A and B are shown apart, each in its own frame.
Chain A
Amino acid sequence: MIHTGEKKDKIDAIIRACGVMLRMNKVRPDARESENIYYQMLSNYFTRLQDAKDEGRFVAAHTVFFPTEILYAMDIVPMHTETTTWMISLFTGECADLLSAGTDLGLASEICTPHRGLAGAFASGALPRPNVMLWSNLICDNTAKSGELLMEINRCPGFFIDHPFQHSEDEMKYLVGELNSMIGFLEEQSGHKMNWDRLAEIVARMDRQIELFREICELRKAVPSPFHTQGFLELLTIDYLFPGQPEATDYLETLRQELADMVKNGEGAVSDERFRLMSFFIPPMHLIGFLERISQEYGAVSVTEPFFTYWGEGRLDPNRPLESVAEKSYMIPETRMYGPLDDRALKSIVDCAEQYRVDGAIYYADVGCRHTCATIKLFKDILNEIDVPVLTLDCDVVDPTITSEEEVREKLERFFELLEDR
């Protein structure tokens, strides 16, 4: 459990990969401007993280679905641990090393690979050592339970946000209290004061960005659908890393314009759209490129992701910035899978299927993700009722050894043929 200390982290691999993507886009005729903005944003994010120590900046490592708005408002450098780890894993090809470093800490194989991997990444020094560790129970027991071990590995203090399960007034009050306590903790640790005006600005921008997310989704209802099949991962990453940041608005506005133009011209993401798909959960990272190719090959496009891109109702209010940050955590599409799966949550799936004219659904059944896989039967039954078949692909979001291209191709081909044959 000893941090290797001054060993060089592997953030550089991500920055280099972004550079490659940007250079490739220069010569790719079909490269989107929004894509360039996206890679530049990623590159800046990780460069800032890499330089933080030399520049004496305060770094907070945090888990997924975290109110990063607060960190930006306090001029604290955020490190999204899951995203950073899986990008390192993807671009260095050292997934097995990260996982085995996690296993060496004593983490069982049932601990999902993102979390086993990130503990391993801290322990092996692939991730830089943060000044503080922040985490919450959004979205599962793995996030809830990860922090204390990570504090120990990094020998740093930490704060746990206890995110309540349901959405009553009392629970909102409790969550706001939790956020306030965390701000107090961060002020004490970093010496930075919370800049409430800045938080209000961030919240105002976040509100705008949520509107843009919704408009982008609305555009995806078009037939043919304009956004490429794994594009939703870009949207996710934007909110994971840059909530309320000006460049995120820039990215989203550019993307919205590109998609609007395509819709106007009747252009689709694939040249011949045959299958409109709904996606659940995240595909294996090492297969993203392959899945894009197969999407083109078969004219199959993911047009909606009820728990990833389908933002709930509601607006944020810059005059009540902290309450808005709390409120937002309930609006994030994925967090609807955290609360009770009541009739309303289930109905949103049917609504999505109907509004987006979905032919079939793909459920990426991550072997480590218990709370999502537990809904496979439930979602299948609901979708079968409106005659939408669901393909379950057993996989692992990070570990490339669980599923191969061939296996996934085989299953997708069978599934597409099934859709065709109907």
Chain B
Amino acid sequence: MFDRFIEVNSTFPKTAHVLEHKRQGGLVFGWLCTYVPEEIMHAAGALPVRITGHNQETELEDGSAYLYVNNCSFSRSCLQMGLRGGYDFLDGVVGSSTCDGARRLFDLWRNYIETPFHHVLTIPRKSTPEAHALYYQQVVQFKERLEEFLGIQITDEKLHQSIDVYNESRTLLKNLYELRKLDNPPISGAETMEVLNASFRMPKELFNEYLKDLLRDLPSSGHTHNGLARLMVTGSVLTNPEFIKSIENQGALVVADDLCTSTRYWSDPVELNEDTTPLQAISRRYLDNFPCARMFPSDKRFNRILSLVQDFKVDGVISQIIRYCVAYAHDLPLLTERLRANGIPMLALDVEYGTSGSGQIQTRVQAFLEMLGARKR
């Protein structure tokens, strides 16, 4: 059932879909962070793919040479893949001012990797009406630069179509997550991550078809997963399903997350109504979406974490923060406090991007699970 998704991920970044799209003369644009509105690129006729780094923890000699060892391993890993030609099919790269890692990754990319089109968006850290006005201007500007670069018009009609495709995807993913609320869900956390990863790396329309098939087959598949404890994973960007697998192999079940590669990616739809243009609706959604730790105030994120904990009947939270991922590291004391006040234990792990969760991490997860088990008894 998951083979088609796994196949996409195992050939990433040059997946068959990307190559096929290029062969047909299509454009491929890479985006660096969930605050970059994908619909705009899609409406321009391009295939948007998410730039991520090596799938596993690996030597980052190029990444560390061009960035520095005190930059997060995610930005170093992405840059290294780019420097080594992994993304040489890209016609454009779109960054954002999300965090120091993201903005420097973009700076270095712009200077050292020959991608024809570069654009960076200012992302406000607040979601006040003024911040929305500013972000809207940024989205408009991005659209105009794309139009100029490609010599095309991105019409409202096209934007509407793209919104439909992306919203459908968000709804389908929401449905998939609904299954994870079950006592014995038919899908594991690691499997969910394979599905999500594929969603960044192939045409959305096709992904939606794959996902519909999966949603049709899953309930009757006889698959069930259960675990000693239901966990939620929070923190930095995470794309390696092996990390989730290593937790689940120890008897837990990962049922929820607030990762930018999972829930924060799909959770909120673009809401259209008669008074808004598609661009307004898109920009509203991206700035109001389930926030990253970079956003102010942090409470907005904490509250959504707490409601996920409730909705998914979470017993404990695993925080995995990539070293030098400062936004999440600063939130950790506050989040720990909020969870503690709500009786939710948390395990805080320092990791490197791509970690498979072996060694020391395994030992700590095991101890955490034992503690959770003791609580339940």
Contacts and interface: CB of A to CB of B under 8 A. Distances in A.
Interface of A: 1, 105-108, 110-111, 137, 140-142, 144-146, 148-149, 152, 160, 162, 164-166, 168, 170-171, 173-174, 177-178, 340-342, 365, 367-371, 373-378
Nearest to A369: B70
B324 interface: yes
A375 B134 contact: no
Contacts of A370: 68, 70-72, 100-101, 104, 324, 326
A173 B337 CA distance: 37
Contact of A340 (B106, B141, B324): B106
Given A110-B326, A170-B134, A375-B104, A141 B99 contact: yes
Interface size class of chain B, counting residues whose CB lies under 8 Å from the partner chain: 35 or more
B107 A341 contact: yes
Given A105-B333, A111-B330, A378-B108, A165 B122 contact: yes
Given A149-B330, A170-B133, A374-B108, 12 more contacts: A1-B337, A108-B321, A108-B329, A110-B324, A111-B329, A111-B330, A141-B327, A145-B293, A160-B296, A340-B107, A370-B68, A375-B104
A111 to B, nearest CB: 6
Nearest to A381: B111
Interface of B: 65-68, 70-72, 97, 99-101, 103-104, 106-108, 110-111, 120, 122-126, 130-131, 133-134, 137-138, 141, 293-294, 296-298, 321, 323-327, 329-334, 336-337, 350
Nearest to A136: B125
Contacts of B332: 106-108
B333 A162 contact: no
Contact of B329 (A1, A107, A168, A342): A107
Contacts of B326: 110-111, 140-142, 145, 370
A170 B333 CA distance: 35
Given A1-B333, A111-B330, A340-B106, A373 B111 contact: no
A373 B111 CA distance: 16
A374 B67 contact: yes
Contact of A144 (B122, B294, B324, B350): B294
Given A144-B294, A340-B120, A107 B130 contact: no
A108 B350 contact: yes
A275 to B, nearest CB: 25
A373 B68 contact: yes
B280 to A, nearest CB: 15
A111 B101 CA distance: 14
Nearest to B122: A165
Contact of B122 (A106, A166, A341): A166
Nearest to B322: A110
Nearest to A367: B70
Nearest to A176: B130
Given A107-B333, A340-B103, A370-B100, A145 B70 contact: no
5 contacts: A108-B350, A165-B122, A174-B130, A370-B101, A371-B103
B298 A164 contact: no
Most buried by A among B65, B123, B297, B334: B334
A374 B125 contact: no
A376 B103 contact: no
A177 B123 CA distance: 16
Nearest to A142: B326
B42 to A, nearest CB: 24
A108 B106 CA distance: 26
Nearest to B297: A148
The 6 closest A-B pairs by CB, nearest first: A106-B333, A165-B97, A145-B330, A373-B68, A374-B104, A165-B122
A164 B122 contact: yes
Contacts of A106: 332-333, 336
Given A174-B131, A373-B68, A373-B70, A162 B126 contact: yes
B286 to A, nearest CB: 15
A305 B336 CA distance: 41
Contacts of B134: 164, 170-171, 173-174
A148 B337 CA distance: 13
B94 to A, nearest CB: 13
Nearest to A110: B324
Contacts of A1: 333, 337
Contacts of A376: 68
Most buried by A among B67, B68, B71: B68
B166 to A, nearest CB: 25
A393 B89 CA distance: 37
A377 B134 CA distance: 33
Contact of B294 (A141, A174, A342, A369): A141
A304 to B, nearest CB: 22
Contacts of B296: 144, 148, 160, 162
B71 A374 contact: yes
Contacts of A178: 130
A365 B69 CA distance: 11
Nearest to A368: B70
A140 B327 CA distance: 10
Given A148-B334, A376-B68, A377-B66, A162 B101 contact: no
A21 B294 CA distance: 42
A177 B128 CA distance: 11
Most buried by B among A111, A164, A365, A374: A374
Contacts of A171: 122, 134
A290 to B, nearest CB: 24
Contacts of B122: 164-166, 168, 171
Given A374-B108, A377-B65, A160 B70 contact: no
Nearest to A177: B130
Contacts of B333: 1, 105-107, 149
